[in-house]
Amino acid sequence: MTILVTGAAGFIGFHVCQALLAQGRAVLGVDNLNDYYDPALKDARLQHLIHQPGFRFERLEIADTAAVAALVSPSSGITEIIHLAAQAGVRYSLQNPHAYIAANIQGQINLLEAARHLPGLKHFVYASSSSVYGHAEKSPFSVQDRTDTPLSLYAATKKADELFHYTYAHLYRVPATGLRFFTVYGPWGRPDMAAFLFTKAILAGEPIRLFNRGDMRRDFTFIDDIVAGVLAALDRPPQDAGVKPPHQIYNLGNNHPEKLTDFVALLEEALGRKAILDLQPMQPGDVYETAADITESRRDLGFEPVTPLAVGLPKFVRWYREFYGV
Shortest CA distance to 162 belongs to which of 250, 30, 241? 250
- DSSP class of residue 283 equals P
| Catalytic residue (choose from 133, 154, 168, 185) | 154
Q: Residue 152, Cβ neighbours under 10 Å: how many?
A: 24
The CA–CA distances, whole Å, from 202 to 170, 197, 255, 322 equal 50, 9, 28, 16
DSSP string computed for 197-258: HHHHHHHHT-EEEEGGGG--EE--EEHHHHHHHHHHHHTSPPP--SSS-SEEEEEES-S--E
Return the HEC string of 104-117. HHHHHHHHHHHHCC
The identity of residue 38, as a single letter, is D
| 154 catalytic per annotation | yes
The identity of residue 237, as a single letter, is P
Sign of the Cα torsion 219, 222, 226, 229 reads: negative
CA 64 – CA 87 distance, rounded (Å): 14
- DSSP class of residue 316 equals H
Cite the active site residues.
154
